[in-house]
Homo-oligomer: A and B are copies of this chain.
């Protein structure tokens, strides 16, 4: 099938038509451009009859104000950038976090009358691009999503002076306000639950240690175990299912006697469940498994996954609100959201 795709609408004769301008509307209505502008922008100081006739001309011509011209003169864009770290080569590309955060934030931003510009920041080159993009004045503010601690981007962007917030605490403090869930508290809950069950050898599968969430979850695991005199058994993952499966295999090799695993997120817990099944270990009878996040998939594992509920939707909503507040008030406070344990079958 062939479909025409001209840049602008054309008449039946194929003559390109330009979109009508403010000038055209003014001419059609027989008033000044100023008056049309005032009507369009809903200013109260317009006579009712003028408003009438202008509105008529607007609908008649199908007038829509040109965005670029508006942005140029008002020095604002009504656009917010959502900047997401882009893992190389599709890594974690179906991570539910991405969909949840982007979707929740977009919805709320649009409800607030803002457009959203989605920016992926992966390579050094793309980081440069992001910086230029913000400097070019394309957006009124930005939201950073789960940056890893090694990433220089937050510091660079903070220097632009634009209102920026972070979804997830950054490792460099003071750069910008953030919203995060209580990773420390949540991980403590998880490990204590395992201890309460009388588990003796409790291992963990950690997330990538350049992310604060992974650091916190590992730290809390270590300290909670240390309080009971037990030793840590740690394998490293990167928050993907496959890394969880591999880490579990390694854990089983290192300590065949282990009877519990705390995975730093649900995706890795799902991977661990597969390895345990392949190894013939029963869950939770032989090995208890607990995850973190409480993603929807945790309801569908066999056995159903016990996990720590982190309020992803609320976190996204609060981060968005934080940004909106920062834009209007010039300041905003970081917030930490509480977590809770959800006991199902796996532990």
- A residues neighboring B (CB under 8 Å): 1-10, 19, 62, 64-69, 71-72, 77, 79, 82, 86, 90, 93-96, 98-100, 102-104, 106-107, 110, 115-120, 122, 126, 129, 132-133, 135-138, 140, 159-164, 173-177, 241, 245, 270-271, 273-274, 277, 295-297, 299-302, 313, 326-327, 329-334
Q: How far is the CB of A168 from chain B (nearest CB, A)?
A: 15
Contact: B107 with A159, CB < 8 Å?
no
A302 to B273, CA, bound (A): 9
Q: Among the listed B1, B90, B103, which residue makes an inter-chain contact with A313, where contact means beta carbons less than 8 Å apart? A: B90
Contact: A120 with B136, CB < 8 Å?
no
**Residues of B close to A326: CB separation below 8 A:** 3, 5
A159 to B11, CA, bound (A): 11
A132 to B66, CA, bound (A): 10
**Residues of B close to A122: CB separation below 8 A:** 107
**Residues of B close to A300: CB separation below 8 A:** 241, 245, 270-271, 273-274
- Copies of chain A in the complex: 2
Contact: A118 with B117, CB < 8 Å?
yes
Contact: B120 with A110, CB < 8 Å?
yes
Contact: B136 with A2, CB < 8 Å?
no
**Residues of B close to A302: CB separation below 8 A:** 273-274, 277, 301-302
A99 to B295, CA, bound (A): 15
A241 to B177, CA, bound (A): 36
Q: Among the listed B5, B64, B95, B297, which residue makes an inter-chain contact with A99, where contact means beta carbons less than 8 Å apart? A: B95
Q: How far is the CB of A100 from chain B (nearest CB, A)?
A: 6
A18 to B330, CA, bound (A): 18
A135 to B19, CA, bound (A): 8
**Residues of B close to A132: CB separation below 8 A:** 64
Contact: A241 with B6, CB < 8 Å?
no
Assuming the A-B contacts A94-B295, A241-B300, are A334 and B5 also in contact, with contact meaning beta carbons closer than 8 angstroms in the complex? no
A161 to B15, CA, bound (A): 13
**Residues of B close to A334: CB separation below 8 A:** 1
A77 to B138, CA, bound (A): 11
Contact: A94 with B96, CB < 8 Å?
yes
Question: Which 3 A-B pairs have CB atoms at the shortest separation, nearest pair first?
Answer: A9-B161, A68-B71, A94-B96
Q: Among the listed B68, B135, B174, B241, which residue makes an inter-chain contact with A64, where contact means beta carbons less than 8 Å apart? A: B135
**Residues of B close to A79: CB separation below 8 A:** 117
**Residues of B close to A333: CB separation below 8 A:** 1-2
**Residues of B close to A271: CB separation below 8 A:** 300
Q: Among the listed B77, B159, B331, which residue makes an inter-chain contact with A4, where contact means beta carbons less than 8 Å apart? A: B331
Contact: A118 with B120, CB < 8 Å?
no
Q: Among the listed B10, B118, B137, B161, which residue makes an inter-chain contact with A102, where contact means beta carbons less than 8 Å apart? A: B118
